[in-house]
Structure 1
Amino acid sequence: QPTPARVLFPDGRRGPPAPRAEATPAGLTAPGGSKNPSCGLGCRRRRTVVRRTHGTPHARPRASEPQNPPQCYSAQYLVEKFIGEGSFGKVAKCRNLSTNQEVAVKISKPTRRDAGLDEISALAKITKLDADKYGLIKFIERFEYRHHICIVYELLDQSLLDFMKARKHRPLLIHEIRSIARQLLISLKGLKEINMAHCDIKPDNIMLVNHASEPFRVKLIDFGLTKKPEDIEPGTTMQNIQYRAPEVILGLPLDERVDMWTVGYVLAWLYTGFHIHPADSEYIVIRALTMRQGMPDQELLDQACMSFDDLIQFYQDKTKIREVEMFINLLRQMIEIDPNKRITPEEALKHSFFTMEQPSADSEKSNSQESASPEVHQQPKTTTVPQETAAAPQEKTVKEDVLQQQEATKRNSQAVTSDSCQSSTVVFSYVNSTLSCYLLPSFISLLVFLLLKFIY
């Protein structure tokens, strides 16, 4: 029988024993108050610490239960606040009362018990990898609390989605993208080594470890949909529609290469600050039109969406054009439509984008500042005038200084005007291509509808 629960007050005092709880092991401290609908755990009126045992006597073995689940430990966790929510349940920031360690506890809904068991089964294989080496979130333990499956992970900083929202979707610099790309490719390589596919990579599931102390160090999280490639059936709906690989949409055979497509698309999103494909594309309409009338001309397709050549011109710091070209070349191979032609993680890590000489972040920053205002750092040329008299050289020097200042002012104004024109051209090109991507399918559908209505 589990030990009777005791009330835990905010100042740490323990009250008299609370009524004996159900004979279900638990390790969470309820976050106080009367039943809180936002909690989802049926919390009691006061904060209670419930001690639990190792076993789960109320849960009978099931066919889907992992045979060798990750080891469980006995601990108590105080729920401090909820930091995430999804279809699976909620994620709470908790404190281990034994070690005073802050952790993240993923609490699944009772109706999503199978998803929790699937994640535990995947963790049984993923924990064989070095979490820090391969950029995967570190698993600590798992337990059950009132029929909720709870999985304890290390506490990380924030997701890439939240990070980009905080900076108003301002694109990252090329050396920052390189750092994230290398880490994600190493993660894919590690998953491939243990014959697993993540199947749900997106900015929400890529976490910054600690951006203040370790800038742009990331880890993959959420292994609820992780499977062996041979267990993924064709036609399975997976991945967010914005990051869905073509073979998933077309119902083709699926394997770990779907993750390479998603990583490539995420990198393109970090590079531009927006999705390079329409997020709510009318796929069914386009599919019906192409089956009936064939594929549109290539010229029309080039006008509707941004090409890879347009992406090269998107980066404003022209001193990094060589690095940008290599990055776009890597991007082409990562989001190749044919999965048989798509680059593998091992090949991607050998790409020239990573093997080239890498400048430091400080030099990159200084170069970007110099390119942003090239004329400001340029010193006016000085000329030497032969000395004729004592008063004449001084008078000529003053006149030369005035002329040089006027020329410098003129050059600065021309540079600002050219930069503003260039940025206006980029913005206009993006708006034009985006409107074409969204409005073209709807316009074609409207024409077909009017034609059919006229015929019948």
Structure 2
Amino acid sequence: MTFTSNHLEICKGTLLGGHYKVEGFLGEGGFGIVTKCCNTKTNEFVAIKVNERNPEILQQAKMEILILEQLRGLDADRCNIVQWNDFFIDGDCICLNFELLDQCLWDYIEDRENHCLPISEIRPILHQLTNALSHLGSVGIVHADLKPGNIMVVDRYECPIKVKLIDFGLACPASTVIPGDCVGTVGYEAPEVMIGSLFNEAIDMWSLGLVAVELATGYPFYPGRNDYDVLKFIIQTQGQPPDHVLDSDETDYHIMWGREKIQNVFVSLIKEMLALDPNQRITPSEVLHHPFFNPGLSKSSPCTDMSSTGGQNLVVSQQPSTADNLPLHQSFNQT
């Protein structure tokens, strides 16, 4: 099998850096490709990100290395970020060596019934990702491209689930942000990014809020083909003033919860994550102390795993709304 990406042509069996044998292909992007490799010296499997020979991409790779160097002081496992090993040059390509993880959150969701997750999994995933953002903030780094595709499940068979944040290709120091910088992915960008305003770490919290909704429903909260579509949907849903109440009838998404109390607490958290004013958006530290993560909540309002209930505790539904079956956007308007 040969994988060609513009100026890259790599096939299974190719040796990268002299001793990393390509065993498979894990993904691709505007930067190049990610390969699964075996270190022929240690027999250890790793993920190698091979950047294309494009000058602009190479410059971006150098910036990613600078960011990763800043993160070396953090404990990758404790901070829920991918372990970066080192980098090497192969020909004209910059190659980044990372620990090998299992599968991205998009694929993990796709493998599940109804393409969404139960509260028993959503809670630890959000807690771990918030933990990652908290530690990134401690060293002044904005990830700038948080989405399910950049969140990896360490081992899909491990319980409780563990996730790590990957891909720092668009990450930047908060102190060097320039208004209008092109960061993020359509559908996950914060409003201030889409309109070209100055931004900071708060854009990652907005993205995490959208990821949370997608985990719960199986659908993107603000779908769109481009920033204009998404921004239009946000304004229609939330209005322009930062303190506008969320209220929209334009979505067909409904969620069903095992207990209304859990739903209300979850929705209150999402509302704070998706505050239009970044200065009013909830911070990682505040999220970690939010009632949604209170152990007593799950005890007082138990919610069993969907795999054992056929998904009845939390599913996407087309049925008319009832007390236990509320449109997600509409439920944001409830106090």
* TM-score scaled by length of structure 1: 0.61
- 1:425 aligns with 320
How much does 1:250 deviate?
2.3
**1:176-255 → structure 2 map (5 Å cutoff):** 176-255=121-200
Structure 1 residues 315 and 142: CA distance shift in structure 2, 3 A: same
Is 1:315 the counterpart of 2:253 in the alignment?
Answer: no
Whole-Å Cα distance in 1 between the matches of residues 207 and 320 of structure 2? Answer: 29
Provide, for residues 31-53 of structure 1, a one-character-per-residue CA deviation record: whole Å limited to 9, x for no partner: 8xxx8646964569x9675875x
* Matched AA of 1:324: Q
Higher helix share: 1
Higher strand share: 2
Q: 1:77 aligns with which of 4, 15, 20?
A: 20
Whole-Å Cα distance in 2 between the matches of residues 285 and 221 of structure 1? Answer: 24
Identity of aligned residues (%): 34
**1:133-148 → structure 2 map (5 Å cutoff):** 133-148=78-93
* Matched AA of 1:239: G
How much does 1:301 deviate?
6.1
* Matched AA of 2:44: Q
Is 1:171 the counterpart of 2:66 in the alignment?
Answer: no
Q: 1:331 aligns with which of 263, 270, 274?
A: 270
Q: 2:53 aligns with which of 110, 123, 131?
A: 110
How much does 1:346 deviate?
0.5
Whole-Å Cα distance in 2 between the matches of residues 49 and 370 of structure 1? Answer: 48
* Matched AA of 1:326: V
The 8 Å contact of residues 186 and 230 in structure 2, kept in 1 or not, is answered as no
How much does 1:245 deviate?
0.3
How many pairs align? Answer: 312
The 8 Å contact of residues 160 and 206 in structure 1, kept in 2 or not, is answered as yes
Provide, for residues 45-81 of structure 1, a one-character-per-residue CA deviation record: whole Å limited to 9, x for no partner: x9675875xxxxxxxxxxxxxxxxxxxxxxx111111
The 8 Å contact of residues 174 and 324 in structure 1, kept in 2 or not, is answered as no
CA RMSD of superposed structures (Å)? 3.7
How much does 1:228 deviate?
0.8
- 1:151 aligns with 96
Q: 1:264 aligns with which of 209, 214, 228?
A: 209
Is 1:89 the counterpart of 2:28 in the alignment?
Answer: no
- 1:120 aligns with 65
The 8 Å contact of residues 137 and 219 in structure 1, kept in 2 or not, is answered as yes
Structure 1 residues 99 and 372: CA distance shift in structure 2, 3 A: closer
The 8 Å contact of residues 229 and 256 in structure 1, kept in 2 or not, is answered as yes
Whole-Å Cα distance in 2 between the matches of residues 49 and 243 of structure 1? Answer: 36
How much does 1:278 deviate?
3.2
Whole-Å Cα distance in 2 between the matches of residues 107 and 145 of structure 1? Answer: 9
* Matched AA of 1:138: Q
The 8 Å contact of residues 209 and 270 in structure 2, kept in 1 or not, is answered as yes
Whole-Å Cα distance in 2 between the matches of residues 429 and 354 of structure 1? Answer: 22
Whole-Å Cα distance in 1 between the matches of residues 146 and 163 of structure 2? Answer: 13
**1:48-87 → structure 2 map (5 Å cutoff):** 76-87=19-30
* Matched AA of 2:47: A
Provide, for residues 164-212 of structure 1, a one-character-per-residue CA deviation record: whole Å limited to 9, x for no partner: 2223652211121111110010000000101111001011000000011
**1:338-353 → structure 2 map (5 Å cutoff):** 338-353=277-292
Secondary structure of 2:141 counterpart: coil
The 8 Å contact of residues 47 and 100 in structure 2, kept in 1 or not, is answered as yes
Whole-Å Cα distance in 2 between the matches of residues 39 and 79 of structure 1? Answer: 18
- 2:41 aligns with 98
- 2:333 aligns with none
Is 1:302 the counterpart of 2:248 in the alignment?
Answer: yes
Secondary structure of 1:247 counterpart: helix
Secondary structure of 1:213 counterpart: coil
The 8 Å contact of residues 169 and 274 in structure 1, kept in 2 or not, is answered as no
How much does 1:304 deviate?
3.0
**Structure 1 residues not aligned, in runs of 5+:** 1-30, 53-75, 374-421, 434-456
How much does 1:300 deviate?
12
Structure 1 residues 188 and 119: CA distance shift in structure 2, 3 A: same
Higher relative contact order (CA 8 A, sep 6+): 2
Whole-Å Cα distance in 2 between the matches of residues 221 and 89 of structure 1? Answer: 15
* TM-score scaled by length of structure 2: 0.81
- 2:294 aligns with 355
* Matched AA of 1:353: F
The 8 Å contact of residues 141 and 151 in structure 1, kept in 2 or not, is answered as yes
Structure 1 residues 242 and 282: CA distance shift in structure 2, 3 A: closer
How much does 1:423 deviate?
6.0
Which of these two proteins has the greater Rg computed from alpha carbons?
1
